[in-house]
Structure 1
Amino acid sequence: MHKNTRESWLTDVYLIAFLGWMSVLAIGMAATRPHYLFLNAIFLGVTICLILITYFWGLITGLLSNLAFIFAQLLTVIYENQIKADLVPWALVYWLFIPLLLSLTFYGMTAHSRRLQTQNAKLQSDLVERGAFDEDTNLRTTVSYIEDTAVFTETNRRFDLPVTTMIVRIRYFQEMRNMLSDAQLRALLQLVSQTIKGAMRTNDITYLLDRSNPTWAVLLFTDASGASIAANRIKGNFAKALANDEELSNLDVRLVVGVASWDSSKMQSPYDLMNAGIKETEYDV
């Protein structure tokens, strides 16, 4: 939040400075004689080009372009004074530094504005990741999983109901990621999510724990044997759904499933159950 405030403040400062130098430029152009109206128009066009060069090609390129413009003006003054004996009025001296200052302030304003946008996008992404639901699949996230697991385990303690988690991952996803387009990745996440939800009972809750290495979880009131049956059902349904999907049917995608049951003598927190399920995916061959 402090960084956002700082970037917003600097953006405003550069904006005010840019508008201030624009005002100085307007006053300077109005103060010169009408005889130099055409020259002012040319210099104004060059100034706009310099601002755009600085914006699109970066600060270094912009500075070099401005220095070249200053050098060209000095050569023009020398030529007018020495060769043509035509004195250039001192009122035009503002063209030596105003374009440079306008370029610098405009670049500073836009640079800090882009940083502010990047930080806001990251903040929104963090809020989604830490939130209760994933925005694409509409599944609950890790936050909800941890909270719900605490409720499930308390039910296990009170009523001695078996609690099991099922962790689902895509086999060799990291190796496969470079072969997937962003559209295919979104379609794959949707397909796996729908398959898992469709294969579970209405009182079983499905979660998307991780998007970077897609990891799903399901909480069930059943033992490991019952969860294994559901795991096989998910794999079978996914194979059929994948074959019928035009966008993904050419991909060799397989799921790995890990099943872990709550053991109050060995597990202390919901993370223990989740990590145990993730560990079990390594043995699903």
Structure 2
Amino acid sequence: MNDDQRTAVMADIYLLLFLGLFSTTAVLMTLTANLTLNTIYLGLTLIMILMTYFFGAVTGLTANLIFIFVQAVVMIYINSTHHSTIPLIMIFWLIMPLLLSATFYGMTRNLTKLQAANAKLRGDIMKRGAFDERTDLRTTVAYIQDAQVFIETNRRFQLPVTTVIIRIRYFNEIKRMMNDQQFTDLLRLTSDTISATTRDNDITYSLDQDNPTWAILLFSDTPGAQIAANRIKVAFEKNLAKSVSLSSLEVLLVVGISAWDPDKMKSPYDFMNNGIKATEYDVAQS
């Protein structure tokens, strides 16, 4: 049982205890004939429960202790001035408000923990959806969102927008010759090379790791994107030769360049897929 499951179980247990105590209180109230005191005490109990909920356990405990003291004063007053006694069964009001406040607080505290855990989980999902842990690059989710911004900028200001798609030539054949560590090293080396070689305002993405695919969004025309792609290829060859685990492998990059064309493309997916298709026509040179 993980922490979230344990917290959920505890919340359920506190809820059942609270309902059980409240039902017991209702039964005990029917067994006493003092309607006025029961009504007043019940109202004060609900107030103390709300105080515990909004202001915390310390405030709720303080309020309950004050309530116990007030009950003692009321009993002494009635016994001494009216020469009457309060039924002994009314003593349940000394302990029930405290128990009700404690179980309600326990339930809400565990529910708050669950809410915090769910919020963290949503944040992690969003983060993992936008960033790849193995390469520290933004993923397809972020690429599509950012590409839409690039496309809108192109529409408003007529700035040329291109995407560069990078893949590993004959990856399936190369993968059979690599172990897991070499595969991880290759992903990291390629990602680091692309990130280090591109300009500060160019954004790099990891689109796929099964068939490793990287993308770059640039405010540039096709010739400018080709210069950037060639620079990446050269830097990759140098870094590959320096790698202890990968230098024995012949790894080449293939590049596809796609310029945004509003007449032929309707969405960022068309933009990306056109770049991926273009990698098939890049003849990598060794």
Q: TM-score, normalised by structure 2?
A: 0.54
- Aligned partner of 1:27 in structure 2 is 27
Structure 2 vs 1, CA of residues 80 and 98 (structure 1 numbering), >3 Å: closer, same or farther?
same
* SS of alignment partner, residue 116 of structure 1: helix
Number of positions where the alignment pairs a residue of Structure 1 with one of Structure 2: 189
* SS of alignment partner, residue 142 of structure 2: coil
Give the greater-gyration-radius structure (CA): 2
Kindly provide the CA deviation profile for residues 250-271 of structure 1, in whole angstroms up to 9, marking residues without a partner as x: xxxxxxxx9993221224799x
Letter in 1 for 2:142: L
- Aligned partner of 1:261 in structure 2 is 235
The structural deviation recorded for 1:31 is: 0.9
- 1:51–1:106 Cα contact (<8 Å) kept: yes
- Aligned partner of 1:11 in structure 2 is 11
Kindly provide the CA deviation profile for residues 113-132 of structure 1, in whole angstroms up to 9, marking residues without a partner as x: 01011112212222332336
Superposed counterparts of 1:140-155, under 5 Å: 152-154=167-169
Out of 134, 139, 143, the position equivalent to 2:142 is 139
- 1:223–1:261 Cα contact (<8 Å) kept: no
Tell me the distance in 1 between the aligned counterparts of 2:111 and 2:143.
33
Out of 34, 47, 50, the position equivalent to 1:49 is 47
Superposed counterparts of 1:1-285, under 5 Å: 2-33=2-33, 36-131=34-129, 138-139=141-142, 152-154=167-169, 165-166=194-195, 206=205, 218=216, 226-227=227-228, 261-262=235-236, 263-267=239-243
- 2:49–2:104 Cα contact (<8 Å) kept: yes
Tell me the distance in 1 between the aligned counterparts of 2:58 and 2:89.
29
- Aligned partner of 1:176 in structure 2 is none
Kindly provide the CA deviation profile for residues 143-171 of structure 1, in whole angstroms up to 9, marking residues without a partner as x: xxxxxxxx83455897xxxx75136898x
**RMSD between aligned residues:** 4.3
- 1:66–1:100 Cα contact (<8 Å) kept: yes
Tell me the distance in 2 between the aligned counterparts of 1:57 and 1:84.
37
- 1:77–1:88 Cα contact (<8 Å) kept: yes
* SS of alignment partner, residue 131 of structure 1: helix
User: What is the percentage of aligned positions where both structures have the same residue?
Assistant: 39
Letter in 2 for 1:27: V
- 2:140–2:205 Cα contact (<8 Å) kept: no
Kindly provide the CA deviation profile for residues 194-246 of structure 1, in whole angstroms up to 9, marking residues without a partner as x: xx57xxxxxxx6469xxxxxxxx8389x999822999xxxxxxxxxxxxxxxx
Structure 2 vs 1, CA of residues 18 and 133 (structure 1 numbering), >3 Å: closer, same or farther?
same
Tell me the distance in 2 between the aligned counterparts of 1:122 and 1:43.
41
The structural deviation recorded for 1:86 is: 1.3
Structure 2 vs 1, CA of residues 259 and 98 (structure 1 numbering), >3 Å: closer, same or farther?
farther
Tell me the distance in 1 between the aligned counterparts of 2:101 and 2:234.
61
